[in-house]
Structure 1
Amino acid sequence: MAVLGVDGWRGRWVGALLDGRSVTLLVLEHVAAVLAVPDVDVVAIDMPIGLSDDGVRVRRPTGWWRCTRSWRSGRPIRG
C-alpha cells in the first residue's frame, strides 16, 4: 500500500510518499497535483488547528510556562 502525506509549504505542497520501505519526497505545485500522484492508496493531509478568523495561527507557549500553566487559561495546572 502506498501512502502520501502532504503539508502546505510556501504556497505549494510538500509530500512524503511511502511505498513499502522506500520514501520519496515531493514538491507539488497545487492540490490537483497531489491527487494526481499515481498508484497512491491513501492521501493524508496535515490540517492546521487553531487558526483564527484572520488566518493568524495561535501559538502555544514553550519552556517552563507550558509546564506550569494551562496555555488556554493561564492558570496553574494541578496534577
Structure 2
Amino acid sequence: MSVKPSRGVIHGKTIELLEDLGLTEGQEVDVIVRVRKTRPEWGQGILNSAGAMALYWTSEDDRILDEIEQDRRQPSTREIPE
C-alpha cells in the first residue's frame, strides 16, 4: 500500500484534488481528511494585538518611547583618533 499526500478543495460531497495522483480511473482508495489551518496574512498578528495595553498606557510610557526614538536617531558612528 502506498501513501500519497495531496491537497484538495471540498465541493459538497466531492473533493477536487489539486494534482493528478496518477491512479487508475475507478480504483478504490482509502481517504483520510484533515482540515488545513489557514495561515493569517503577514502582519495580521500585530494588528490583532494593537491596543491591547491601551487601558494601562500612561503618559510616562509615551515619554519613554519618545526618549527611545530620539536615541535611535542619534548618529551611531564615532570618530577614530588619529
TM normalised by structure 2 equals 0.26
* Between structures 1 and 2, the one with greater strand share: 1
Q: Flag the structure with larger Rg.
A: 2
